[in-house]
């Protein structure tokens, strides 16, 4: 492969913009029909519904004139869900009737977890393709164990001060183990950059907490005064305000902080990613706009009793796609057409019994 990469002609850099061509109305019809079928079949059809949904989003996502494809066999997903369901059921039965067995099962799950993470990532990657070339995921058990369990322990020991480093380990594990036509992805991401993102998040959070507390304190005093001496003696006037404050904080974290920080981290990781050292990815999402999307989506879903959900997904995907691009020193076409040998017989391996999509 190296020879081929070196021998590639030096073409000017070409920027390929990603785009999403699905529509909310079209996806709504697909979603509601599949949902009704899932309910009527007591959940069995949900595996087919999942595949149709993923196919819709992959099939409408384009780079250049080509779209992505999702190939998963719903039966594999159904088997995976059945395994997960049986595992969950036997655990809850065991915890009721045989606590010792339940403890053993819990230990078993603990050690199976890294394997499950790998299996799910591999299943998704192998069933995804672009231009007739499949993706792959080659994460090893030991690495998954280190990243998902080792780092979790370390986080506890360091009182979460190493959270950005743990996040970096996960990003690296996820991206560096992905392959496209046998070619590796690679992400360069500095701990310093991640630390500064989380520092900004912390400052925003503390600012919000202090601001909200001051306002709540002021309101509490007013409410206390109007209620009169009865409320003051027990502090109840202020209590209901504190109650609301906790609810507001509870909403602030998923609605503002998670989308804001998450978007910045995504931009950083995507923009630090290369494929085969020749293609650079770039994501230029606006954290504020992503926060607005999350907030307005939630609001519209509440108003419409959840029926806005398909439009929420479509508008989010359309925005994220339109801010994602690939730049390379050659046309993707001339590059990917070199990927004949590396493709191998991956399709056959997909039929491996253990290649099932575990989890919901």
Q: Which of 16, 18, 20, 31 binds another protein (CB under 8 A)?
A: 31
CB of residue 267 vs another protein: minimum separation in angstroms?
16
Decide: is 239 part of the binding site for another protein (CB under 8 A). Answer: yes
Q: What are phi and psi of 353, to 5 degrees?
A: -55, -40
In angstroms, rounded to a whole number, what is the distance separating the alpha carbons of residues 257 and 263?
10
Decide: is 49 part of the binding site for another protein (CB under 8 A). Answer: yes
The size of the interface with another protein (CB under 8 A), counted in residues, is 73
CB of residue 90 vs another protein: minimum separation in angstroms?
16
Q: Which is it for the CA torsion 147, 148, 150, 154, positive or negative?
A: positive
Residue 39 or residue 140: which is nearer to another protein going by CB? Answer: 39
Q: What are phi and psi of 21, to 5 degrees?
A: -110, 10
CB of residue 154 vs another protein: minimum separation in angstroms?
26
Q: Which of 7, 100, 159, 230 binds another protein (CB under 8 A)?
A: 230
Give buried/exposed letters for 111-147 (b at 16+ CB in 10 A, else e).
eeebebbbbbbbbbbbbbbbbebbbbbebeeebbbeb
In angstroms, rounded to a whole number, what is the distance separating the alpha carbons of residues 249 and 245?
6
Q: Which of 228, 277, 284, 354 binds another protein (CB under 8 A)?
A: 228
Judged by CB under 8 A, the stretch of 32-40, 141-149, 162-170, 203-211 that binds another protein is 32-40
Residue 24 or residue 150: which is nearer to another protein going by CB? Answer: 24
CB of residue 4 vs another protein: minimum separation in angstroms?
13
Decide: is 286 part of the binding site for another protein (CB under 8 A). Answer: no
CA 122 to centroid of chain Cα atoms = 15
Checking DSSP bridges between strand 279-283 and strand 61-63, what pairing results, if any? unpaired
Q: Which of 114, 164, 181, 201 binds another protein (CB under 8 A)?
A: 181
Q: Which of 16, 76, 126, 131 binds another protein (CB under 8 A)?
A: 131
Touching another protein, residues 136-155 (CB under 8 A): none
Residue 64 or residue 150: which is nearer to another protein going by CB? Answer: 64
Phi-psi region of 64 (alpha: psi -120 to 50; beta: other; left: phi over 0): left
Considering only CA atoms, which of 141, 132, 149, 124 is closest in space to residue 54?
124
Range list of β-strands (E), 237-286: 273-275, 279-283
Touching another protein, residues 291-350 (CB under 8 A): 294, 297-298, 301-302, 306-307, 309, 312-313, 316, 332-333, 336-337, 339-340, 343-344, 347
Touching another protein, residues 73-112 (CB under 8 A): 96
Q: Which of 5, 19, 55, 162 binds another protein (CB under 8 A)?
A: 55
Decide: is 56 part of the binding site for another protein (CB under 8 A). Answer: yes
Q: What are phi and psi of 129, to 5 degrees?
A: -145, 160
Residue 17 or residue 297: which is nearer to another protein going by CB? Answer: 297
Q: What are phi and psi of 66, to 5 degrees?
A: -115, 145
Residue 242's contacts (CB-CB under 8 Å, 6 or more residues apart) are 216, 220
Binding mask 250-279 for another protein (x = CB under 8 A): -x--xx--xx--x-----------------
For residue 140, the 8-state DSSP code is: -
In angstroms, rounded to a whole number, what is the distance separating the alpha carbons of residues 185 and 181?
11
Decide: is 199 part of the binding site for another protein (CB under 8 A). Answer: no
């Amino acid at each position: 492969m190296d020879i081929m990469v070196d021998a590639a002609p030096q073409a000017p850099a070409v920027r390929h913009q990603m785009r999403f061509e699905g529509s909310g109305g079209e996806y709504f019809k697909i979603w509601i029909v599949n949902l009704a079928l899932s309910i009527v079949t007591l959940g069995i059809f949900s595996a087919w519904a999942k595949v149709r949904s993923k196919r819709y989003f992959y099939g409408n996502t384009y780079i250049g004139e080509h779209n992505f494809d999702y190939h998963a066999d719903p039966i594999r997903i159904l088997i995976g869900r059945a395994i997960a369901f049986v595992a969950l059921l036997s655990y809850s039965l065991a915890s009721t009737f045989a606590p010792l067995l339940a403890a053993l099962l819990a230990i078993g799950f603990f050690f199976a977890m890294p394997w499950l993470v790998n299996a799910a990532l591999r299943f998704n990657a192998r069933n995804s393709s672009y231009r007739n070339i499949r993706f792959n995921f080659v994460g090893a058990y030991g690495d998954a164990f280190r990243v998902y369990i080792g780092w979790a322990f370390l986080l506890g020991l360091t009182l979460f001060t190493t959270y950005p480093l743990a996040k970096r380990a996960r990003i690296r594990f996820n991206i560096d183990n992905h392959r496209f036509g046998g070619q590796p992805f690679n992400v360069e991401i500095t701990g310093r950059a991640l630390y500064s993102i989380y520092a900004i998040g912390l400052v925003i959070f503390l600012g919000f907490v202090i601001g909200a507390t001051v306002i709540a304190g002021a309101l509490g005093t007013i409410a206390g005064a109007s209620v009169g001496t009865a409320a003051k003696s027990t502090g109840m006037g202020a209590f209901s305000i504190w109650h609301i404050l906790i609810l507001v904080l509870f909403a602030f974290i998923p609605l503002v902080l998670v989308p804001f920080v998450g978007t910045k981290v995504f931009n950083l990781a995507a923009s630090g990613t290369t494929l085969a050292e020749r293609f650079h990815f770039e994501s230029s999402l606006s954290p504020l706009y992503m926060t607005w999307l999350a907030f307005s989506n939630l609001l519209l879903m509440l108003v419409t009793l959840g029926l806005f959900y398909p439009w929420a997904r479509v508008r989010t995907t359309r925005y994220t796609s339109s801010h994602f691009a690939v730049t390379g020193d050659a046309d993707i076409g001339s590059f990917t057409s070199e990927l004949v040998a590396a493709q191998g017989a991956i399709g056959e391996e997909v039929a491996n019994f253990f290649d099932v999509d575990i989890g919901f």
